[in-house]
Amino acid sequence: MHAIGRVSDGLSEASRGTSAFDALVPPAAQGLTPVAAIGGQAPVAIDLSRAASRQTSDRIIGAILWTCGAVSLLTTVGIILILVQQALVFFSQVPITSFIFGTTWTALFKNPLYGVLPLLGGTVLITLIAMCVAIPLGLMSAIYLSEYAAARVRDVLKPSLELLAGIPTIVYGFFAVTFIRPEVLKPIFASIGPFSALAAGIAVGIMTIPLVASLSEDAMRAVPRALREGAYALGGTKLEVSWQIVVPAAISGIIASFILAMSRAVGETMIVALAAGSKAQLTANPLEPMQTMTGFIVQAFSGDVVVGSPAYLSLFAVGLLLFVLTFALNLLSQWVVRRFREAYE
């Protein structure tokens, strides 16, 4: 009887120190395990769920992730500010109309002219040639991987195709100079020189094939199997199902892959620097040497350009124009995805 009285007294003292919540919610529901009283002391609750430590670790991880995101955003803003600031200094010395509409680019000559149209024309022409290579080959590869290839074949071919994206671009440049131009194009076009927009465009197109193929294949694989089975039930062949059902259903992702590949081709540097040449001329002949915007930036930084001179500042003007083009292509890609996306339940 005395022992029972001591235990009841200890429990009453412990209950007076608890809150209303603790009195209503049992310890097990709070993640607490009660420990029996020892020597007349009140029972002690141990937090086995470690809720406090989890909250602390969540706060730390959240702070780290926020810092990484802020650094990325600030880096992008810093790049834009530098480009705009230096480009404004350049445009204070060279009229912006002369820069945009001029047809002669001799920035590194004794009497410089800063008409960017030859650089822009070379960039656009090489990009178009690259897309003529990458889009058909990439789309055909995606259709085969998605609709025709067996699972084992797909598991081997798709990683092998994506290995092309891991090859350094300077290797593609050497490939264009040492193989595409002399072995492939020279027997067909006898007048082609050592540097040409055609050789550079083919090499850039080969480089962007994995981007088109991988993204297009992912878009087509996302099409529900029920659409294919319904088309087969109506008597459609595999080719008809691929072209008339699967491709239209995945058109938003396919077009987005085309635009992203185009953006990648516009910003390519080392291939065009090695294979296209460094002659800035406004021509539509792909057999002629040309210079792109990225090729000029490489050429200027590899020479002796005086810091603060108009030739040095023109690098930032060209870089800003290149940034605007790639940014516009990315916005176009996002708009296409939102506009033509098909939602399936």
Q: Is 8 contained in some domain? A: yes
Q: What is the DSSP letter of 179?
A: I
pLDDT tens-digit readout, 151-160:
888 888 888 8
Contact 209, 141 (CB under 8 A): yes
According to the model, what pLDDT value does residue 134 have? 93
CA distances from 91 to 64, 78, 305 (A): 40, 20, 18
CA-based R_g, the chain, Å: 32
Which domain range does residue 258 map to?
A: 101-340
Looking at the structure, tell me whether residues 319 and 257 fall in a common domain. Answer: yes
pLDDT tens-digit readout, 20-33:
445 444 554 444 44
3-state secondary structure of 105: strand
Q: Which of 73, 93, 113 is the last residue of a domain?
A: 93
CA distances from 228 to 139, 153, 214, 341 (A): 18, 20, 20, 18
Contact 264, 211 (CB under 8 A): yes
According to the model, what pLDDT value does residue 48 have? 57
Task: Give 127's contacts (C-beta < 8 A, 6+ positions apart).
Answer: 201, 204, 262, 265, 266
Q: pTM for this structure?
A: 0.78
- From 142, 165, 136, 153, select the one nearest 221 (Cα to Cα): 142
Looking at the structure, tell me whether residues 129 and 67 fall in a common domain. Answer: no
Distance, in Å, from the CA atom of 213 to the CA atom of 253, rounded to the nearest integer, reads: 11
According to the model, what pLDDT value does residue 203 have? 94
- From 204, 176, 177, select the one nearest 267 (Cα to Cα): 204
Task: Give 135's contacts (C-beta < 8 A, 6+ positions apart).
Answer: 212, 258, 261
Looking at the structure, tell me whether residues 24 and 78 fall in a common domain. Answer: no
In CATH, what number is assigned to the domain containing residue 285? 1.10.3720.10
Looking at the structure, tell me whether residues 125 and 262 fall in a common domain. Answer: yes
Distance, in Å, from the CA atom of 324 to the CA atom of 96, rounded to the nearest integer, reads: 15
Distance, in Å, from the CA atom of 166 to the CA atom of 178, rounded to the nearest integer, reads: 20
Task: Give 1's contacts (C-beta < 8 A, 6+ positions apart).
Answer: none
According to the model, what pLDDT value does residue 26 have? 52
Q: Is 304 contained in some domain? A: yes
Q: Is 305 contained in some domain? A: yes
Count of residues making up the chain: 345
DSSP-H helix ranges across 102-224: 117-143, 151-162, 169-175, 197-221
Q: Is 345 contained in some domain? A: no
Looking at the structure, tell me whether residues 270 and 329 fall in a common domain. Answer: yes
According to the model, what pLDDT value does residue 336 have? 80
Looking at the structure, tell me whether residues 319 and 216 fall in a common domain. Answer: yes
According to the model, what pLDDT value does residue 2 have? 46
Looking at the structure, tell me whether residues 182 and 208 fall in a common domain. Answer: yes
pLDDT beneath 50, residues of the chain? 1-8, 10-21, 23-25, 28-33, 36-38
Domain count, the chain: 3
Contact 220, 146 (CB under 8 A): yes
Task: Give 290's contacts (C-beta < 8 A, 6+ positions apart).
Answer: 118, 121, 122, 125, 126, 196, 197, 200, 276, 277, 279, 280, 281, 283
